[in-house]
Amino acid sequence: MTKAKSAMLICIASVCLLLIIGFLIVGIAEYADERRGGANTNESSPPGEIDESNIADAPTDEPTTDMPTEPQTEPPTEPPVTEPPIVLPELKMSLTEPSMSLIEGETQTVQLELIPSEGSDASLLAANVSDASIATASISVSDSGTPEMTVAAKAFGTCTIDIAYNGSVLVTVAVSVAEDYNPGTPKPLPPAPVHDDIDPDKPMIALTFDDGPGNYTDELLDILAEYDVRATFLVVGNMIKGREDIIKREIADGHEIGIHTWDHTKLTTLSPSEITEEIDSVRREIRRLTGVTPRIVRPPYGSTNDDVKAVSVAEGFLIVRWNVDPEDWKTRDAQATFDHIMSHAKSGNIILCHDIHKETVESMRLVIPALLEQGYQLVTVSDMLQYSKTEPVPGQIINKQ
């Protein structure tokens, strides 16, 4: 019995103690609330409760009839908020790839679609640009709930846009902004790579290869390395993807890279801004891969007009054509290519070939040793121009036929 009594007493004492502690906590909490400054009270007070310090700071014309008449006896208790987990929707865009190319001052709009559209809240979409000095982006949602992103290009360079849904990134879009065509500020011609192993008194020929890099370019580079000679590659921008190592090897092996436009478009059908972008897009890619800025451009089909010449002056590059055309792309015959080149071999010639054809690369196994045998030095176009002592200027067409 005494044991049971003691246990009951301990129980009652414990309950009393807990009650005292409870009252103390409530008292401290209320005291703390009263002491807190007015600035934060709006965030912590539940609606309907007004802090005294807030009232003191309130403008005088604010109605004071909302003052609570009952004393605040209970500490603020807010029910725990449990938000439902957000399921990220899929984002579809009107872009075929998550990349955009713009010209300074240009604005492009991209249609966006959330899947599923049911239950997805387009207003939760946001576009965050990595460098706002290059481009800005904003997302707007039509009354029917269709979202779209508007990108405005500000300055030359590259940046990325993260398209996020409720803070989670769904897609990252790579943005590249080209310089606007501005004939008022011509760029200087990039420096020529220096090769001082050339004898200016000996005959020289420039072998040039268009339309690559292709499936046989590596083999051609092996042949050029075997004979320790240099050539010039006029590359097409959309051929580079997946063949970046070939571009790097061309520069590492001492060859020259020129530009043959991004997608082999006839430049005379384009506006000056479009011509600039066709050339500048390849120049940026070569510079990104190799650190070297190309200085020569061969327009597809050799087609030039006053706009191409004006862009050449503005952008600082040389327009290079050819004066020997073995029509290797037409004959697709290594022997015929060899015969044509050898019958037109002359110092100062620029020979047009295509490294995307197997037969052309095969013909080089014959052409290169035969030209060396006749005493020719095989050099890059820029080497030839440098040693010809009549370095042309942008806007001038080299080897106009």
Among 104, 148, 179, 211, binds Zn ion (CB under 5 A): 211
What's the min distance (Å) between Cβ of 214 and Zn ion? 11
Contact 150, 174 (CB under 8 A): no
Name the segment binding Zn ion (CB under 5 A); options: 47-55, 116-124, 294-302, 376-384. Answer: 294-302
- Binding-site size for Zn ion (CB under 5 A) equals 3
Instruction: Give the angle subtended at the CA of 303 by the CAs of 297 and 304, to the nearest 5°.
Output: 75
Q: Which residues contact 31 (CB under 8 A, 6 or more apart)?
A: none
The 10 Å CB-count burial string (b at 16+, else e) for 388-400 is: eeeeeebbebbbe
Strand, helix or coil at 312?
helix
What's the min distance (Å) between Cβ of 169 and Zn ion? 40
Beta strand pairing status for 99-103 and 125-129? Answer: unpaired
Contact 379, 204 (CB under 8 A): yes
**257: enclosing H helix or E strand:** strand 256-259
What's the min distance (Å) between Cβ of 206 and Zn ion? 16
Contact 329, 264 (CB under 8 A): no
Q: Which is nearer to Zn ion, 176 or 208 (CB)?
A: 208
Q: Which is nearer to Zn ion, 214 or 300 (CB)?
A: 300
What's the min distance (Å) between Cβ of 297 and Zn ion? 12
Name the segment binding Zn ion (CB under 5 A); options: 150-158, 177-185, 292-300, 361-369. Answer: 292-300
Question: Active site includes 354?
Answer: yes
Q: Which is nearer to Zn ion, 127 or 341 (CB)?
A: 341
How far apart, in whole angstroms, are the C-alpha atoms of residue 64 and residue 58?
10
Residue nearest to Zn ion (CB): 210
Instruction: State both tokens at 397.
Output: 């067409």
Length of the chain: 401
Q: Which is nearer to Zn ion, 89 or 300 (CB)?
A: 300
Rg from Cα positions in the chain: 37
Name the segment binding Zn ion (CB under 5 A); options: 67-75, 125-133, 207-215, 289-297. Answer: 207-215
Instruction: State both tokens at 88.
Output: 């990220």
Q: Which is nearer to Zn ion, 211 or 307 (CB)?
A: 211
Q: Which is nearer to Zn ion, 147 or 294 (CB)?
A: 294
Check 354, 355, 357, 383 and give the catalytic one. Answer: 354
Instruction: State both tokens at 159.
Output: 């940046």
Environment class of residue 142 by beta-carbon count within 10 Å: exposed (0-12), middle (13-18) or buried (19+)?
A: exposed
Q: How far is CA 90 from CA 66, 163, 200, 257, in A?
A: 48, 11, 63, 41
The β-bridge partners of 128 are: 162
Question: Active site includes 210?
Answer: yes
Omega within 30 of 0 (cis) for the link into 75: no
How far apart, in whole angstroms, are the C-alpha atoms of residue 94 and residue 266?
27
The residue with tokens 């700071």 is: 57
**Residues 297-316 within binding reach of Zn ion (CB under 5 A):** 300
The residue with tokens 């190799």 is: 290
Q: Which is nearer to Zn ion, 5 or 241 (CB)?
A: 241
Q: Contact between 355 and Zn ion (CB under 5 A)?
A: no
What's the min distance (Å) between Cβ of 116 and Zn ion? 47
Name the segment binding Zn ion (CB under 5 A); options: 18-26, 191-199, 281-289, 295-303. Answer: 295-303
Q: Which is nearer to Zn ion, 210 or 307 (CB)?
A: 210
Name the segment binding Zn ion (CB under 5 A); options: 87-95, 127-135, 206-214, 369-377. Answer: 206-214
What's the min distance (Å) between Cβ of 330 and Zn ion? 13
Check 51, 210, 280, 325 and give the catalytic one. Answer: 210
Strand, helix or coil at 127?
strand
Q: Contact between 210 and Zn ion (CB under 5 A)?
A: yes
What's the min distance (Å) between Cβ of 302 and Zn ion? 9
Name the segment binding Zn ion (CB under 5 A); options: 20-28, 152-160, 211-219, 333-341. Answer: 211-219
What's the min distance (Å) between Cβ of 299 and Zn ion? 9
Which residues of the shown chain bind Zn ion in the complex (CB under 5 A)? 210-211, 300
Show which residues are catalytic: 210, 354
